[in-house]
Structure formats: structure tokens, C-alpha cells
Amino acid sequence: MVQGITKREREVTDINEIKEILDKSLIVHVGMVDDGEPYVVPMNYGYTLEDSELCIYLHGATVGRKLDIIRKNPKVFFEMECDVTPFEGKVACQYGTTYASVMGKGTAEVLEDVNEKIDGLTKFMKTQTGKDFTFDEKMVSIVSVIKITAKDFTAKKRPKPMGLK
């Protein structure tokens, strides 16, 4: 289980607020474990969030280190953030950064079924652009599509403190 958020007042539990963070972030950092060594890649993503299950869709080349790792060890940890703006204070410890973020653990799979790949890429483009695109078998054959399924994730928001610029 993902450990609970220490600063509880910053936790986001409202599903619509979580979706807003996922809609805005657009880049996910996916952490993997490669024979005991950590490996993290930034990626664009698409998502669905239904019945407390978050599915993240990634696309990329058909070869590479992350695909090799996921095939060996599908356990991943992910993080995405948005609304990142630094703010100032009168003393050093009042400086900070606003943010909204989601992180969690999931299981990754490299999709092989053509229809699942088309579905994943459609969701990917919807999240990235807000538009509906169509794909055919030929288009999906030249890319890999990774699906991460996560039931265990948390969201957190740090607004700008009152009275600071």
C-alpha cells in the first residue's frame, strides 16, 4: 500500500479534483526497478479513472530499456504534477512552490492486442489534446503501447500561502 500523506490538509480525495490534476499534468515520471537498480523515465500519457482504478497509457518506440525492464518486472511507481509556480516570502523558509500532484504504484503491461493498442492510443491522444483521433492496425504496428493499472494512488495539492507574492 502507498503510505498515507503526512500533511493531511494537502491531500486531495475528490475524484474530480484528481481528474483535473491528471488532465493538466500531461507528463508522467515512471519509476521501474531494473535488476535492483532504479530507473525513471518521463513520458507523455493518457488516462482513465473509473471505479477508483487509474489506467495510464504510454506510447513509444518498440525497443528500449523501459520495455525490457517492464517485461522482466512490471511493478512501477509513477508521479505527475501540474500548477508548479514558485512563490516568495520575507525569509528563506517562506519561499516555496505551488503544485498539484498524483503518485502511486501500479502494474505495467506491454499491450500486444491490436484493438487494445488502438484503444490505448485513442485515450492517450484524448488526454494530450482533448481531441478524438482514430487509428488503424498499420499505425499501431510501429509503436509500443504500455498500460499501467493502479488502484493504489494518492493526490496532493499545495496552494500559495495567504499573503505571499
Ligand X SMILES: Cc1cc2nc3c(=O)[nH]c(=O)nc-3n(C[C@H](O)[C@H](O)[C@H](O)COP(=O)(O)OP(=O)(O)OC[C@H]3O[C@@H](n4cnc5c(N)ncnc54)[C@H](O)[C@@H]3O)c2cc1C
| Residues at the interface with ligand X (CB under 6 A) | 27, 41-44, 59-61, 64-66
DSSP H or E segment with residue 124? helix 114-129
- Identify which of residues 42 and 89 has a Cβ nearer to ligand X in the complex: 42
Cell of 107: 502494474
Look at residues 6, 3, 7, 5 and name the one whose alpha carbon lies nearest to residue 161: 7
β-pair type (144-158, 46-50): unpaired
Q: Which is nearer to ligand X, 64 or 159 (CB)?
A: 64
> Alpha-carbon distance 89 to 149, whole Å?
40
Nearer residue to ligand X within complex by CB, 66 or 157: 66
Instruction: Please state the closest distance from residue 13 (CB atom) to ligand X, in A.
Output: 28
CB of 72 to ligand X, least distance (A): 13
Looking at beta carbons only, is 5 or 41 nearer to ligand X?
41
Which residue's C-beta sits nearest to ligand X?
Answer: 64
Cβ atoms 18, 157 nearer than 8 A? no
Backbone angles phi, psi at 74, to 5 degrees: -80, 0
Nearer to ligand X, 72 or 88 (CB): 72
- Cα distances (angstroms) measured from residue 52 to each of 42, 77, 152: 24, 17, 9
CB of 147 to ligand X, least distance (A): 14
User: Shortest Cβ distance from residue 84 to ligand X (Å)?
Assistant: 13
* Of residues 72, 84, 4, the one with CA closest to residue 34: 72
Q: How far is the CB of 27 from ligand X (least distance, A)?
A: 5
Residues forming beta bridges with residue 36, ordered by sequence position: none
